[in-house]
């Protein structure tokens, strides 16, 4: 069997250490013949039972479920942290389930998943709430659509939905545009912090033995002669009995590598505004707009942390990883939001962002064993909205399916998730004092906007799947998510990362890869600029 | 929290930057001994610690000092006077009753009960997000103050080739600092048709280093996947909207933002103090007292200043007023509102207490103009009758204007319902 080794092996001979060989910049453009060596052979003998590609909320939910069974599993992702794709940039809504067409996987898994959220979020210690939602109709023309949504809600077994009229809407949400006519009220619509959810799922999986191999893009997946699978990444390659494709935007490419039945992914970008939680919350519920022939509309929603989210747009783009924001889309958000919130106030805007939805051409989730591929390949493809809502259900079903294929037994020594501790910001004075008495670093505030302490930042780095970058710390602790957007705390977070990881400040990145924060010491840069001076 | 451990103080000052220190010194000079200053950073001195350039103290000390030198004078003086300055202590909450909760590594949670509180928390920089600049969200985008901290306090360079958006003073200072340190500053881009920085900084930080200043321009796109690789700048029309076709592309690895400072008033708002939408600071009277008796505010948390000398000056007044409050010396005069008239934004104080004989005169009123005016008059009117007029060669939003109302002028408003400050072309009849 041919095994890929760095092409430069022959060029550099023995000088080429394994570390250099697997450096992605060296290996990226390799087109040379691959040789097998003793060293690689030895490492190759490691056989995984399952490799999950993609460390988003779906991959981590599958890993968390699969880690309840015996077997050696790993999660591989191209980014340096979990939740670093669509899972970090979405509306954070746990949809009640009235939106998906009855009979689809989307509808079934959404409703099943959303019903699992309350318990799961509590177990994981993840912010979750169920404020409810309204779908607003602004003319009598919208009423049939609202009625159709209600019928779908009934068909999908969504509890408590009803149609309400203008007066009741304005009583519930006084900031609603008074031109509203009617609305679908869905009391079970929820909110979750999607990245905190993903991080907590990853931690639980890791605590039960799952490996997380990050910052390592998968290049190729192929069946082996002996009925297993080979996952080739930029730095390494892994042999496994089962492979689970949860690669979000990349899931189509991987599917098409291994299956004879092709899928077509469409990258649909959504852009958002985020408002500070110091500002008065305009709406306590998630406010959707009734879909019309003019489009799906945008939402205004509180987040689990009391911020307000405006958006998203829906623009199909060519590059599925391009999360830039554009003036045009941001203006669109603003214009559309005015329909719901007439006197929209942008003064408290603290950031804008965009996320990509992995839309599959046929519009439904593709979950389960990969059709048209050899045995042992599983997938969750086309998981766009309501993917976050469905994640617990997808994780459970797909995890159990893979375990059944592996004939794996439930572990007797499975460790229950350790709930993420309550954040300092949400503690009472008594709880703060108690936390301080256990760890005096609770007495040091690093992020003043979100009131994040040094103890919490160190804990985020020490978690099973710990933070390695400024953004990773931010997702786990909220340091840098406030009004100053890290202006004050990022230098200190950088220092703490250096202390914890034992690296130089020049190594610390914003979000992995080449996203280094600092380019050199003062002396280095001055010398570069004036090489002839001492 | 456990009230038995509550520490009683006469005056509690939040922040040991130039404002907090000056307030403390002045309160001490006015006879207050039981006083504590709480500072969240590990060192006193506030933002001055990282402002290693000179130009501080010209008004107050009549000499040119660097930021750390200026701060050190107050730190030394406070020490000499025996003022209790505690660092590494973050104030979490201030109540209307002046109960202050703080936390630190040393004490844990500690509650104070103060007779008077002086709020001197300073300000923070407006981030990229607040402007909603489109583009990617990669590394290499810093507020100028964060970059300044990396360079001046940590000894690291945040970039090699940069564009600066905004011509606020920190941005201008950083243009020079980055250049001196070997980085290339390609441009300084300002949305408005005039700079919001001081003229001397435009000359000394941009012109002296041949850094172009693009007025009426803004950044319309940021490129780069992991680190900034370029920014697109475009000219804006009179409504500050980018003009298509006017784009200029800069290849750079860093974008520094100097796009405004915002008073940091979380504690003030938490205490229930009445706030001004114009200054984003508390509404105060001429003693720097907020809407809650015994809570005072001074320095950049009240309104963003240009010169630290003015911050100190204002804070001396706040410190004395807090001391008077503790000693029971209450200013009882009738409150008259000071309003922004034509061309004027953000008058501080917002009210003047008029007392018989106007003992506390002169009262200084500070504000900014809403655009650049040349050879105009700053006019103060009481119920429409001009009581003060002063000719100004130039009035620009980048430089705070300061007028002083003497006893005579104040006496003339004794029965007035309101005082209005405006900028006018003609000298009014007095």
B226/A514 Cβ within 8 A: yes
Question: Of the candidates B1, B139, B151, which has its C-beta nearest A516's C-beta?
Answer: B139
In degrees and rounded to multiples of 5, residue B412 shows phi and psi of -70, -20
Two tokens at A145? 């659509």
Say whether both B307 and B347 belong to one domain: no
Identify whether B429 is part of a domain: no
Domain boundary among B331, B356, B377: B331
A525/B157 Cβ within 8 A: yes
Say whether both B115 and B11 belong to one domain: yes
Determine the number of helices (DSSP H) and then strands (DSSP E) in chain A. Answer: 17, 23
Q: Does B242 touch chain A (CB under 8 A)?
A: yes
Q: Residue B226 in contact with residue B138, Cβ under 8 Å?
A: yes
Residue B3 has pLDDT above 90, yes or no: no
State the smallest CA–CA distance between residue B182 and chain A in angstroms. 5
B128/A522 Cβ within 8 A: no
Using CA atoms in the order A149, A153, A156, A159, what is the torsion angle rounded to 10 degrees? Answer: 170
Q: Residue A115 in contact with residue A156, Cβ under 8 Å?
A: no
Say whether both B297 and B197 belong to one domain: no
Q: Does B86 touch chain A (CB under 8 A)?
A: no
**Which residues does A118 contact at the CB level (< 8 Å), separation at least 6?**
A128, A130, A190
B269/A325 Cβ within 8 A: no
Element (H, E) at B123: strand B123-125
A519/B159 Cβ within 8 A: yes
Residue range(s) defining the domain that contains residue B243: 127-259
Identify whether B97 is part of a domain: yes
* Collapsed DSSP state (helix, strand, coil) of residue B364: strand
Going by their DSSP bridges, the two strands B35-39 and B84-87 should be labelled as parallel
Domain boundary among B259, B291, B315: B259
Two tokens at B380? 């103060």
Say whether both B227 and B270 belong to one domain: no
Decide if A305 is catalytic: no
Average pLDDT over residues B224-250: 97
Q: Nearest-5° angle of CA A186, CA A192, CA A197? A: 145
Superfamily of domain A424-507: BFD-like [2Fe-2S]-binding domain (1.10.10.1100)
**Which residues does A108 contact at the CB level (< 8 Å), separation at least 6?**
A156, A393
Closest by CA position to A68, among listed A201, A208, A175? A208
* Collapsed DSSP state (helix, strand, coil) of residue B79: helix
A528/B160 Cβ within 8 A: yes
**Which residues does B221 contact at the CB level (< 8 Å), separation at least 6?**
A324, B133, B134, B135, B231, B232
Residues 127-166 of B with CB under 8 A from A: 127-130, 132, 134-139, 142-143, 145-146, 149-151, 153-160
Q: Residue A170 in contact with residue A182, Cβ under 8 Å?
A: no
Cα→Cα distances A53→A44, A212, A530, Å: 19, 10, 47
Residues 25-84 of A with CB under 8 A from B: none
Two tokens at B16? 């040991």
Residue B330 has pLDDT above 90, yes or no: no
Say whether both B101 and B61 belong to one domain: yes
CA A111 to chain centre: 20
Preferred mutation among B109, B180, B218 to probe A, highest tally of A CBs within 10 A: B109
Say whether both B64 and B24 belong to one domain: yes
Question: From CA A433, how far away is CA A390, in angstroms rounded?
Answer: 39
How many of the other CB atoms lie within 10 Å of CB of A178?
10
* pLDDT value at residue A534: 57
Q: Residue A98 in contact with residue A92, Cβ under 8 Å?
A: no
Closest by CA position to A234, among listed A452, A76, A55, A413? A76
Nearest chain B residue (CA) to A440: B105
What is the pTM for the complete model shown? 0.93
* pLDDT value at residue B139: 97
CA B264 to chain centre: 10
> Can you tell me the ipTM of this complex?
0.95
* pLDDT value at residue B4: 63
Q: pLDDT below 70 — which residues of chain A?
A: 1-45, 533-534
Burial class (CB in 10 A: 0-12, 13-18, 19+), B277: exposed
Q: Residue B333: pLDDT band by 50, 70, 90 thresholds?
A: confident
Using CA atoms in the order A422, A427, A429, A433, what is the torsion angle rounded to 10 degrees? Answer: 20
Question: From CA A519, how far away is CA A162, in angstroms rounded?
Answer: 57
* pLDDT value at residue A45: 62
Say whether both B150 and B114 belong to one domain: no
Say whether both B136 and B255 belong to one domain: yes
Place of tokens 């243009």: B175
Say whether both B228 and B277 belong to one domain: no
Identify whether B430 is part of a domain: no
* Collapsed DSSP state (helix, strand, coil) of residue B368: strand
Say whether both B8 and B119 belong to one domain: yes
Using CA atoms in the order A183, A184, A187, A193, what is the torsion angle rounded to 10 degrees? Answer: -90
Of chain A, the end-to-end C-alpha distance in Å amounts to: 56
Average pLDDT over residues B80-101: 98
3-state secondary structure A361-404: CCCCCEEEECCCCCCCEEEEECCCCCHHHHHHHHHHHHHHHHHH
Q: Count Cβ neighbours within 10 Å for each residue of A260-274 and write b for 16 or more, e otherwise.
A: eeebebbbbbbbbbb
Q: What does the pLDDT look like over B166-198, one tens digit per residue?
A: 999 999 999 999 999 999 999 999 999 999 888
* Collapsed DSSP state (helix, strand, coil) of residue A65: helix
* Collapsed DSSP state (helix, strand, coil) of residue B125: strand
Torsional sign, CA B57, B71, B22, B77: negative
β partners of residue B296? B118, B289
A429/B154 Cβ within 8 A: no
**Which residues does A284 contact at the CB level (< 8 Å), separation at least 6?**
A131, A173, A302
Chain A residues in contact with B253 (beta carbon < 8 A): 519
Domain count, chain B: 3
Q: What is the per-residue DSSP string for A191-206?
A: EE-HHHHHHHHHHHHH
Q: What is the per-residue DSSP string for B133-157?
A: --B---B-EEEHHHHHHIIIII-EE
* pLDDT value at residue B408: 86
Say whether both B309 and B356 belong to one domain: no
Question: From CA B312, how far away is CA B315, in angstroms rounded?
Answer: 5
CATH number for the domain that contains residue B236: 3.50.50.60
Closest by CA position to A474, among listed A427, A423, A436? A423
| Long-range pairs, B361-365, Cβ under 8 A, ≥24 | B361/B405, B361/B406, B361/B407, B361/B410, B362/B404, B362/B405, B362/B406, B362/B407, B363/B286, B363/B404, B363/B405, B363/B410, B364/B402, B364/B403, B364/B404, B364/B405, B365/B338, B365/B402, B365/B403, B365/B404, B365/B405, B365/B421
Question: From CA B129, how far away is CA A350, in angstroms rounded?
Answer: 5
Element (H, E) at A476: helix A470-477
State the smallest CA–CA distance between residue A303 and chain B in angstroms. 17
Q: Nearest-5° angle of CA A59, CA A62, CA A66? A: 135
Q: Residue B357: pLDDT band by 50, 70, 90 thresholds?
A: low
Average pLDDT over residues B300-314: 97
Question: From CA A27, how far away is CA A5, in angstroms rounded?
Answer: 9
Q: What is the DSSP letter of B212?
A: -
Question: From CA A517, how far away is CA A529, in angstroms rounded?
Answer: 19
Closest by CA position to A243, among listed A107, A373, A388? A373
> Domain coordinates of chain A in residue numbers?
1-45, 129-188+265-360, 424-507
Q: Does A440 touch chain B (CB under 8 A)?
A: yes
> What CATH number is given for A129-188+265-360 in this structure?
3.30.9.10
Q: Residue A185 in contact with residue A161, Cβ under 8 Å?
A: yes
* Collapsed DSSP state (helix, strand, coil) of residue B102: strand
Two tokens at A508? 């610390």
Chain A residues in contact with B158 (beta carbon < 8 A): 517-519
Q: What does the pLDDT look like over B263-278, one tens digit per residue?
A: 999 999 999 999 999 9
Q: Does A325 touch chain B (CB under 8 A)?
A: yes
Identify whether B290 is part of a domain: yes
* pLDDT value at residue B334: 87
Closest by CA position to B219, among listed B166, B297, B266? B166
In degrees and rounded to multiples of 5, residue B162 shows phi and psi of -130, 155
Question: From CA A233, how far away is CA A237, in angstroms rounded?
Answer: 6
Say whether both B66 and B177 belong to one domain: no
Torsional sign, CA B344, B347, B353, B355: negative
CA atoms within 13 A on the CB side of B281: 32
Q: Does A272 touch chain B (CB under 8 A)?
A: no
Two tokens at A139? 């003319």
A526/B105 Cβ within 8 A: no
3-state secondary structure A130-177: CCCEEEEECCHHHHHHHHHHHHHHHHCCCCCCEEEEHHHHHHHCCCCC
Domain boundary among B297, B331, B365: B331
Two tokens at A123? 């177990």
């Amino acid at each position: 069997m041919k095994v890929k080794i760095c092409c430069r092996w022959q060029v550099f001979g023995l000088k080429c250490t394994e570390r250099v060989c697997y450096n992605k910049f060296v290996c990226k453009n390799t087109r040379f013949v691959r040789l097998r060596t003793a060293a690689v052979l030895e490492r190759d003998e490691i056989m995984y039972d399952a490799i999950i590609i993609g460390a988003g909320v779906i991959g981590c939910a599958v890993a968390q479920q699969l880690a309840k069974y015996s077997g050696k599993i790993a999660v591989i992702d191209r980014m340096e942290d979990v939740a670093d794709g669509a899972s970090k940039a979405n509306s954070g809504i746990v949809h009640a389930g009235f939106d998906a067409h009855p009979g689809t996987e989307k509808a079934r898994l959404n409703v099943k998943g959303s019903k699992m959220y309350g318990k799961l979020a509590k177990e994981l210690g993840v912010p979750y709430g169920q404020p409810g939602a309204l779908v607003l109709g602004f003319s009598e023309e919208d009423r049939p659509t609202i009625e159709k949504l209600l019928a779908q809600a009934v068909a999908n077994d969504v509890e408590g939905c009803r149609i309400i009229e203008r007066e009741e809407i304005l009583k519930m949400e006084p900031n609603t545009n008074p031109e509203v006519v009617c609305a679908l009220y869905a009391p079970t619509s929820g909110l979750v912090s999607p990245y905190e959810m993903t991080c907590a799922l990853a931690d639980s999986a890791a605590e039960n033995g799952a490996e997380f191999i990050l910052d390592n893009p998968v290049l190729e997946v192929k069946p082996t002669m002996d009925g297993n699978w080979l996952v080739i990444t930029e730095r390494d390659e892994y042999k496994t009995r089962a492979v689970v494709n949860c690669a979000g935007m990349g899931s189509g490419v991987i599917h098409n590598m291994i299956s004879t039945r092709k899928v077509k992914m469409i990258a649909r970008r959504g852009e958002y505004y985020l408002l500070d939680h110091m500002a008065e919350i305009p709406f306590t519920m998630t406010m959707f707009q009734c879909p019309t022939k003019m489009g799906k509309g945008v939402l205004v929603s509180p987040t689990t942390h009391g911020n307000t989210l405006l958006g998203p747009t829906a623009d199909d783009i060519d590059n599925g990883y391009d999360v830039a924001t554009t003036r045009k889309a941001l203006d669109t958000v603003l214009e559309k939001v005015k329909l719901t919130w007439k006197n929209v106030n942008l003064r408290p805007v603290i950031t804008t962002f965009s996320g990509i939805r992995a839309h599959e051409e046929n519009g439904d989730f593709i979950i389960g064993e990969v059709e048209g591929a050899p045995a042992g390949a599983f997938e969750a493809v086309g998981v766009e909205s309501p993917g976050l809502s469905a994640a617990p259900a997808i994780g459970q079903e797909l995890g159990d399916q893979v375990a059944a294929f592996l004939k794996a037994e439930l572990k007797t020594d499975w460790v229950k998730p350790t709930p993420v501790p309550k954040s300092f910001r949400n503690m009472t004075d008594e709880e703060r004092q108690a936390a301080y008495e256990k760890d005096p670093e609770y007495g040091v505030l690093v992020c003043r906007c979100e009131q994040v302490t040094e103890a919490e930042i160190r804990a985020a780095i020490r978690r099973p799947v710990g933070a390695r970058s400024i953004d990773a710390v931010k997702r786990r602790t909220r340091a840098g998510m406030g009004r100053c957007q890290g202006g004050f705390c990022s230098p200190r977070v950088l220092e703490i990362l250096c202390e914890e990881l034992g690296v130089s400040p020049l190594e610390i990145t914003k979000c992995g890869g080449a996203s280094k924060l600092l380019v050199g010491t003062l002396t280095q840069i001055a010398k570069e600029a004036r090489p002839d001076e001492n | 929290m456990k009230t038995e451990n509550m520490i009683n103080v006469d005056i509690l000052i939040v922040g040991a930057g130039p404002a907090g220190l000056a307030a403390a010194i002045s309160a001490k000079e006015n006879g207050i001994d039981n006083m504590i200053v709480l500072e969240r950073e590990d060192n006193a001195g506030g933002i001055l610690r990282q402002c290693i350039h000179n130009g501080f103290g010209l008004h107050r000390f009549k000499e040119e000092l660097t930021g750390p030198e200026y701060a050190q004078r107050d730190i030394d003086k406070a020490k000499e006077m025996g003022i209790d300055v505690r660092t590494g202590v973050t104030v979490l909450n201030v109540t209307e009753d002046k109960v202050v909760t703080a936390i630190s590594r040393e004490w844990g949670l500690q509650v104070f009960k103060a007779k008077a509180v002086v709020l001197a928390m300073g300000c923070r920089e407006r981030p990229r997000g607040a402007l909603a600049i489109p583009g990617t969200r990669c590394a290499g985008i810093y507020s100028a103050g964060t970059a300044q901290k990396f360079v001046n306090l940590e000894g690291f360079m945040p970039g090699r080739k940069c564009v600066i958006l905004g011509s606020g003073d920190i941005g201008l200072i950083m243009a020079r600092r980055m250049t001196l340190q070997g980085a290339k500053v390609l441009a300084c881009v300002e949305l408005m048709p005039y700079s919001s920085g001081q003229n001397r900084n435009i000359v000394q930080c941009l012109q002296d280093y041949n850094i172009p200043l693009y007025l009426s321009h803004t950044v319309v796109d940021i490129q780069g996947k992991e680190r900034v690789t370029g920014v697109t700048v475009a000219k804006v029309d009179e409504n500050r909207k980018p003009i298509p076709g006017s784009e200029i592309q800069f290849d750079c690895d860093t974008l520094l933002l100097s796009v405004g400072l915002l008073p940091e008033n979380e504690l003030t708002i938490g205490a229930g103090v009445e706030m001004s939408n114009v200054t984003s600071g508390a509404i105060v009277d001429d003693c720097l007292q907020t809407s809650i008796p015994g809570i005072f505010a001074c320095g950049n948390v009240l309104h963003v200043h240009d010169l630290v000398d003015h911050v100190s000056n204002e804070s001396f007044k706040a410190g004395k007023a807090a001391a008077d409050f503790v000693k029971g010396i209450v200013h009882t005069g009738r409150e008259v509102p000071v309003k922004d008239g034509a061309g004027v934004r953000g008058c501080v104080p917002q009210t003047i207490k008029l007392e018989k004989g106007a003992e506390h005169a002169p009262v200084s009123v500070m504000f900014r103009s809403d655009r650049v005016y040349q050879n105009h008059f700053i006019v103060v009117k009481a119920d429409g009758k001009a009581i003060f007029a002063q000719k100004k060669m130039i009035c620009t939003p980048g430089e705070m204007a300061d007028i002083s109302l003497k006893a005579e002028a104040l006496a003339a408003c004794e029965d007035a319902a309101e005082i209005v400050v405006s900028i006018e072309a003609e000298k009014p009849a007095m």
